[in-house]
Amino acid sequence: MATIAYHCKFCQRPGTAVYDPACDTLRLEIWSKILSCNHCSDFMVSRRSIDYRISSVCRAVFVARNQGNKAVRDIEAVAWDKLEVLTKDLSRMCCAFVGVTNVWDKEFIVLLMERPELSQRITNDYFARLKRAKAKAIT
Ligand SMILES: [Zn+2]
């Protein structure tokens, strides 16, 4: 076994990875650019899971509204409760990862309920704003 030095593709922190030099199909110059540290990898996997669940709830609302479902108000009420739990989980996770105070607001749910088809963009924008707030606090 051999080691290769890399910089995490997300946080740029240096790290080392172990590989088998006998593997002649390994293209280290490409492979080393996609490595990420455990901290970032764990966060990305957890975040993807919550993002997926938020998208599923939003999709149900979007479909109910567009199909003229008679139970749309009930579906929205259930979605609101689910989104409150999910967005609080997402907020707690993202704020801890970025290193800022947990900033959850009911407006997060309002945005998702207003435009459920844009749930992925809304959660991505939220995370981008947290990172900008952290960068601003540092400078
Ligand atoms: Zn990292």
Q: What is the CATH number of domain 39-138?
A: 1.20.58
User: How do the domains of the chain map onto residue ranges?
Assistant: 2-34, 39-138
First to last CA, the chain: 41
Neighbours of 55 (CB within 10 A): 18
Q: Measure 115 CA to ligand 1 centroid, in angstroms.
A: 32
Q: Measure 14 CA to ligand 1 centroid, in angstroms.
A: 8
Q: Measure 8 CA to ligand 1 centroid, in angstroms.
A: 5
41-51 CB burial, b ≥16 within 10 A, e <16: eebeeebeebb
* pLDDT tens track, the chain, 139 positions: 888 899 999 989 999 988 888 877 777 778 888 899 999 999 999 999 999 999 999 999 999 999 988 999 999 999 999 999 999 999 999 999 999 999 899 999 999 999 999 999 999 999 999 999 888 887 7
Q: Measure 40 CA to ligand 1 centroid, in angstroms.
A: 4
Q: Which residue has the tokens 């959660």?
A: 123
Q: Measure 121 CA to ligand 1 centroid, in angstroms.
A: 22
Q: Measure 60 CA to ligand 1 centroid, in angstroms.
A: 34
| CA angle (79 as vertex; 77, 81 as ends), nearest 5 | 75
Q: Looking at residue 118, what is its pLDDT?
A: 97
**4 vs 28: CA distance, rounded Å:** 8
Contacts of 26 (CB under 8 A, 6+ apart): 19, 20
DSSP string, 54-101: HHHHHHHHHHHHHTT-TTHHHHHHHHHHHHHHHHHHHHHHHHHHHTS-
